[in-house]
Structure 1
Amino acid sequence: MSDRLPGFSTLAVHAGAQPDPTTGARATPIYQTTSFVFNDADHAASLFGLQAFGNIYTRIGNPTNAVLEERVAALEGGTAALAVASGHAAQVVVLQQLLQPGDEFIAARKLYGGSINQFTHAFKSFGWNVVWADPDDIGSFERAVTPRTKAIFIESIANPAGSITDIEAISTVARKAGVPLIVDNTLASPYLIRPIDHGADIVVHSLTKFLGGHGNSLGGIIVDAGTFDWSIGGKYPMLSEPRPEYHGIRLQETFGNFAFAIACRVLGLRDLGPALSPFNAFMILTGIETLPLRMQKHCDNAKAVAEFLAGHPAAASVSYAGLPSDKYNQLARKYAPRGAGAVFTFSLKGGYDAGVSLVSKLQLFSHLANVGDTRSLVIHPASTTHSQLDDAAKVKSGAGPDVVRLSIGIEDKEDLIADLEQALGA
């Protein structure tokens, strides 16, 4: 190619990949091995000492995974990436590099229920404390900042309601506080929103969702924007201070604008161990090749279904940012002009019982705890994904008792609407 920068669809197919040099295989091979042979003793020592790049052990890195990492980094506009076993694993590995016991991070209140649970309960055992802020009130993030604050965490499109977060405004708060902004971009994918373009320093995904896209493989990924100065005020010793396990290397000095991705690999993944299977990496890579096609179909279908529900007498309200009447429509136009995503919620006039009943009557929609599948999915969050929250917290997170969450697939929209119509009528 010329000096022209490849477009998104081209990167989705080609970024990070080359024909296999040994066999000529065009598809990225699955390197299903635990470990790799060293050239000699000096080569082994240089790899273990971070003096050379290469493969040691699949828990730390693998050639199949490396193609996935380079591809997602290219799609997100980052400097480097690290693939791990799940989206939850990505969040643990990211925050392990940033937080010491007693430290705090600020999180948007509108998050996936599993993240709320992880932040509220599991992270307490590490001595990491979450402080909640309201993404509809940017001032609440500013008010939450303390000397112990080490990061801000948001979702670009919030799960379950599909609300759009004002990334640039919260990025301004993070810059003023001198902390990195972490954005979970799972529901948007880089096809709809690239958070780094709007001030994010770190992007995470559950690869299980739209990037993989077929509901068959777990995975997570961390993307380093390469934009944050980790030497600020000695706040981030994992990156700025000498690492005794690597003969005193300072990761930021040595690796520059991809130091955070390296830290996640050689300090987080190495010791915590949530490695992604090369087979799963292969499956997710295959899914990413059709990401632009799928995401556009997801969005077009979702808008049609949301419009149908907005006019149905059984629906009390519809929360979909792609509707002109929605409170997040202006933010959707700014951040996601191609479409407002495929996940949204609506509430039923019959309340909790009506929500549970609807889920049981749908036939084409699959009732399960996932989003981002080619198939359309449905769940009642208050009784499942957000059931650990009290009623007030459910409402604040967008998962009130009368709310049903839909993840719209790539089927014919007329069939999806017909299934909803029969279930609502029943």
Structure 2
Amino acid sequence: MSDNPAFGFDTLQIHAGAAPDPATGARQTPIYQTTAYVFRDADHAAALFNLQEVGYIYSRLTNPTVAVLQERMAALEGGAGAVCCSSGHAAQIMALFPLMGPGRNIVASTRLYGGTITQFSQTIKRFGWSAKFIDFDDPDAIKAAIDDDTRAIFCESVANPGGYITDLDAIAAIANDAGLPLIVDNTSATPYLCRPIEHGATLVVHSMTKYLTGNGTVMGGVIVDSGKFDWSASDKFPALSQPEPAYHGLSFHKTFGPMAFTFHGIAIGLRDLGMTLNPQAAHYTLMGIETLSLRMSRHVENATKVAKWLETHPAVDKVTYAGLENSPYRERMSRICPKGAGSLFTFALKGGYDACVKFVDAVKLFSHVANLGDTRSLVIHSASTTHRQLSPDQQEAAGAAPNVVRVSIGTEDPNDLIADLEQALTAASA
């Protein structure tokens, strides 16, 4: 009953996946800080290891606290199932793991978090995978980049750092025509502002470290599966459609249907990659999600006020916030993120790189950190930090040019945020 899809978002974010603890009656989900679980008998143990029964074996694979979080995330995103893991970066690798193989590639947006671009352009090469980075406002270029070895299309719903909003409906249509899964990183939007599965996404990934937890305390990632992709429609995804030797020839898609990707993520992904989310982190994240809609509403309200003020400031050249009336993505926001454009955006300073450095050194209320999605307002100069490893052309394409500052607007009094920005911009212009 707690994850009834008929319930509203505000109810699901508190109740989905959870129930009073059957052993103690505890109303809050307990932290099950345990490594292993006692089997009822030998037959029970065998059934669990054969994937014939769902239950708990070892906390690298499954844990009751983490299981509640997985069910809650699936409910909030409108998916069939979810797999939690140790970080957002882990979630990206785990999302690709069942799909890829040596020589295979993905088509990815140029507008991505700098760490994701590095992961896709450098690190995945060690697995024999590769990525093609394309401007996702050019559908013909996306179609041209897809070849026989392409296994997924990847983008962010609201791109980090600039707050650019991807036309998910258009990208999903391209992916569908090509018979490929669309993977959407929904970290910056959260399911409160955007539900990518409703726009055709196959998989949704999050860095739960950000807005979902909301307080900058723990790391975590999640992959939510729509359950709608036909993994057996072609021979491109043998890990899901063909017999699995480690489970006596079991076919995940044939056996588990809409839950195939989720079961594979646990039974093989977590089993062999070991990117496990610890139960205490899951507990913190569950508590954060309980207030997600309240926080995101305030984030959007504050970001809109701050962005409107910034675009009138004489030291500011441009503001990228999609919620502004003159934003080229305003119409797209109304379709993809109807409740608002989030609180992550950039602004360019007329003084260039040097002014940006002075600005981040001068803020007092804003925190200069490599994070986003906190209740506290955060700032960073992406070109010298999160996107530092990229070439100048890549920085420009990602929205992280040298004259650009990224802000994540928190839930403080917006007038106090504006006052801090004013004094820091004055210092940067001196």
Give the TM-score category using the shorter length.
Answer: over 0.9
Aligned-pair Cα RMSD in Å: 1.0
Are the aligned partners of 2:320 and 2:345 in contact in 1 as well (CA < 8 Å)?
yes
1:98-113 map, 5 Å: 98-113=99-114
1:139-150 matches, within 5 Å, as 139-150=140-151
Q: Is the 8 A contact 2:88 2:205 kept in 1?
A: yes
| 1:124-149 superposed Cα distances (whole Å, 9 cap, x missing partner) | 00001101110221222111110001
Q: Using a 3 Å threshold, how does the CA distance of structure 1 residues 4 and 212 change in structure 2: closer, same or farther?
A: closer
Q: Which residue number in structure 2 is paired with residue 421 of structure 1?
A: 422
In structure 2, the residue matched to 1:190 is 191
Q: How far is the alpha carbon of 1:425 from its aligned partner?
A: 1.4
> Structure 1 CA distance, aligned partners of 2:136 and 2:159?
10
CA–CA separation in structure 1 for the residues paired with 2:5 and 2:319 = 42
C-alpha distance in 1, partners of 2:11/2:234? 41
In the alignment, does 2:411 pair up with 1:410? yes
Return the letter of the residue paired with 1:162.
G
Alpha-carbon distance between aligned partners in 2 of 1:307 and 1:182, rounded to the nearest angstrom = 32
Matches within 5 A, 1:243-392: 243-392=244-393
TM-score (norm 2): 0.98
- Kindly indicate whether the alpha-carbon contact (under 8 Å) linking 2:220 and 2:277 is maintained by their aligned counterparts in 1: yes
Task: Identify the range of structure 1 (231-240 vs 59-68) with the bigger mean alpha-carbon deviation.
Answer: 231-240
Report if the CA contact (8 A) 2:5-2:75 is conserved.
no
The Cα shift of 1:336 comes to 1.0
Aligned residues of 2:109 and 2:155 also touching (Cα < 8 A): yes
How big is each residue's C-alpha offset from its partner over 1:346-376, in whole Å with a ceiling of 9 and x where there is no partner?
0000000001110000000000000000000
Which stretch of structure 1 is more off in the superposition, 136-145 or 163-172? 136-145
Distance 1:65 1:138 in 2: 38
Question: Is the 2:35–2:59 contact (alpha carbons within 8 Å) kept by the matching residues of 1?
Answer: yes
Q: In 1, Cα distance between the equivalents of 2:139 and 2:114?
A: 21
- Which residue number in structure 1 is paired with residue 72 of structure 2? 71
Shift, 1:269, TM fit: 1.0
> 1:334: Cα distance to partner?
1.2
**Amino acid aligned to 1:385:** T
1:90 matched residue in structure 2? 91
| Contact kept in structure 1, 2:120 and 2:131, CA below 8 Å | yes
Aligned AA (1:203): V
Match of 1:124 in 2: 125
Name the CA distance, whole Å, in 2 between partners of 1:420 and 1:27.
Answer: 40
Shift of 1:232: 2.1
Match of 1:234 in 2: 235
Alignment length (residue pairs): 426
Tell me if 1:57 matches 2:63: no
Counterpart contact for 2:322–2:333, Cα < 8 Å? yes
**Aligned partner of 1:59: which letter?**
R
1:45 is matched with 46
SS at 1:187 equivalent: coil
CA distance in 2, matches of 1:94, 1:343: 24
Aligned equivalents of 1:4, 1:42: Cα separation in 2: 35
CA drift of 1:201 comes to 0.5
Structure 1 residues 206-245: aligned runs within 5 Å: 206-245=207-246
The letter of the residue matching 2:411 is: I
The residue aligned with 1:171 is 172
Q: Which amino acid in structure 2 is aligned with residue 403 of structure 1?
A: V
Instruction: Give unmatched runs, 5+ long, in structure 2.
Output: none
Query: SS of 1:393's equivalent?
Result: helix
Report deviation, 1:251: 0.3
How far apart are the structure 2 equivalents of 1:377 and 1:32?
Answer: 32
Instruction: Please list the CA deviations of residues 211-259 of structure 1 after superposition, one character each: whole Å capped at 9, or x if unmatched.
Output: 1111001000000100100012211010011111111100001100010
- State how far apart, in whole Å, the 2-side matches of 1:255 and 1:360 are: 53
Among all aligned residue pairs of Structure 1 and Structure 2, give the percentage whose two residues are the same amino acid: 57
Q: SS of the counterpart of 2:97?
A: helix
Separation in 2, partners of 1:269, 1:138 = 35
Residues in 1 aligned to 2:88 and 2:116: alpha-carbon distance in whole angstroms: 9
State TM-score, norm by structure 1.
0.99
Q: List runs of 5+ in structure 1 lacking aligned partners.
A: none
CA distance in 2, matches of 1:233, 1:202: 18
Q: Distance in 1 between matches of 2:192 and 2:141?
A: 29
